């Protein structure tokens, strides 16, 4: 298990509010999901609509334990939209889709409890 997924990991060092504001976390709606069998670890390729200002972005997420492609479309999720694109095998991931680990370390996606406009920024 990766150390970041361990609930016993100590709290990270304090940061100032400007450091928090530098991380741009937005909400978007998954508009397409497909298996990514070529990934080193099981993953799903996502296309997420962040509204007109940001548009549709791609993400590779290791979420196969709790989710299948058919049930992901229409779900709102949170993602970091201002990291540089990352090459994951033959796929370029443009945003980091966010989640928390369950008791076994499998990813549980995070998103709003109610429908909100796509592109809304976390504060």
Q: If pLDDT is split at 50, 70 and 90, which confidence band does 4 have? A: low
pLDDT for residue 1: 32
Interior CA angle at 22 toward 20 and 27, to 5°? 85
pLDDT for residue 89: 84
Give me the mean pLDDT over the 90-118 stretch: 95
Q: Is the pLDDT assigned to residue 57 strictly greater than 90?
A: yes
Rounded-to-integer distance, Cα 95 and Cα 78, Å: 10
pLDDT for residue 60: 95
pLDDT for residue 40: 84
Domains for the chain: give ranges and CATH numbers.
3-109 (2.40.50.140)
pLDDT for residue 17: 93
Contact 111, 78 (CB under 8 A): yes
pLDDT for residue 77: 98
């Amino acid at each position: 298990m990766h150390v970041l997924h361990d609930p016993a990991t100590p709290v990270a060092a304090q940061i100032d509010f400007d450091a928090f504001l530098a991380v741009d976390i937005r909400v978007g709606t998954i508009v397409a999901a497909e298996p990514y069998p070529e990934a080193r670890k099981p993953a799903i390729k996502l296309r997420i609509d962040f509204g007109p200002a940001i548009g549709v972005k791609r993400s590779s997420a290791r979420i196969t334990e709790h989710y299948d492609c058919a049930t992901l479309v229409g779900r709102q999720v949170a993602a970091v939209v201002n990291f540089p694109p990352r090459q994951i095998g033959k796929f370029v991931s443009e945003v980091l889709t966010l989640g928390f680990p369950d008791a076994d370390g499998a990813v549980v996606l995070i998103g709003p409890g109610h429908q909100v406009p796509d592109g809304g920024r976390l504060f």
